[in-house]
Amino acid sequence: MRRIIIDCDPGHDDITAIVCALAHPEQLDVLGLTTVCGNNLLDNVTRNLCQVMTVLKRDCIISKGYDSPMVYHPEPQRAAHGETGLAGPELPEPVIEPISLHAIEFMKKMALEHGKITLVALAPLTNIALFLKTYPELKQNIECITLMGGSRYGGNILEKSEFNIYADPHAARIVFESGVPVVMSGLEICQECSTPHVLIDSLNQGNEAMKMMYDILQFFSEYNRKRNRDCSPIFDVVPVMHLLHPELFETENCAVHIELDGMYTRGMTVFNENDMDSIKNVTVLTHCKDTVVYNQYLLNDLISMTK
Ligand code: RIB
Ligand code: CA
C-alpha cells in the first residue's frame, strides 16, 4: 500500500488521473488532494475539483496551496482547458469544500502521521517546492515525487518547454535538485500513451458520472480531433498508471537541469547526455511496453469509478 498526496490544477487530465488513483484503494491510499495555480487560477481549479468530487460522491480531503508561481505570474491555459479550467461538463454546485489547512501544512501533517508518503505532482511544482524549502527535515519522509512535467525533445508551451515546468521553473529547479527521488513523465511518454478517441466516445452513455468523464475527455481531445488525429495524450494519467502498473514502463536514470529564463528556453528540462559523471537526479519514463493494455486499464478505471 502506497500513501499518496496528489498535487493538481484540475484540469481535464488531472481529474482523469485522480479517478484512476481512486479506483485502486487496494494499491493507493489517497490521503488528500492539494491544489495549486496552474491551468487556471487557484480558486477555479479548486472549485472544479470540489464539483467533480461532488458528482463522484467522494469526500476526499482537499487543501488549497499557492495562488501564484514563485516568481512568474499565473498564465491560465484557456485554449486547452477553457475559461474555468474545466470546460465541457455541466457541473453542480459543490457540496464539499477545501479544509482550512494550507497544502504545505497538510503535506507536513501527512508526512509526520504516516512516516513515508509519495507526492504525485500533476501541476506546476510551487506547492511541492515550497513544502521542501519550508520543511527540509521532512525530505526523508518523501518516498518519491512522481510528476508529469518536462520533455526530452519537444514542448507544448514553448518549442522545448512543457507547461508545468514553464509555469514555475524556479519551483521545478528546487524539486529536481532536492535530493528527493524524482520520477518524470515527460511529454514524450505522454504522447506514446495517447488515448484513442473511440475509447473516449465509448463513455458517452450511462449515468451522470460517466457522462461527466465523457464530457471532460471529449473537450480535452477536441484539439486533436480538429486536426484529424485519432488519439489524444491525457498527460497527468501517466504518473498514476506508472504507480499502478510499473511493469508496463521502461525507465532511464538521467541528469536533468531546469532552465529558469529565456525567450525560447524558459522551463526547458535540459538533459545532460555528455558528462558520464553527472549526477543522475531523475528517473525518466522512456517507453510504454503496451499502450493497448495501458488504455484498457484506463477505461476499466473510468468505468469502475462511474458505474
Ligand atoms: O503539459 C501538460 C500539463 O499541463 C498537465 O498537467 C496539464 O494538466 C497542464 O497542467
Ligand atoms: Ca495538470
Q: Which of 146, 157, 236 to mutate to test the pocket of ligand 1 (most atoms within 8 A of CB)?
A: 236
Tell me what the mean pLDDT of segment 238-262 comes to.
98
Ligand 1 centre to CA of 175 (Å) is: 17
User: What is the reported pLDDT for 202?
Assistant: 96
- Taking only the tens place, the pLDDT of each residue in 4-18 is 999 999 999 999 999
Ligand 1 centre to CA of 125 (Å) is: 11
DSSP character at residue 73: P
- Band of residue 1 on the pLDDT scale cut at 50, 70, 90: very high
> Would you give the end-to-end CA distance of the chain in angstroms?
25
Whole-prediction pTM value?
0.98
Q: How many CA atoms lie within 13 A of 236 on its CB side?
A: 26
> What CATH architecture applies to the domain 2-305?
Alpha-Beta Complex (3.90)
- Taking only the tens place, the pLDDT of each residue in 124-157 is 999 999 999 999 999 999 999 999 999 999 999 9
Domain ranges of the chain: 2-305
User: What is the reported pLDDT for 276?
Assistant: 81
What does the block give as the cell for 18?
485522480
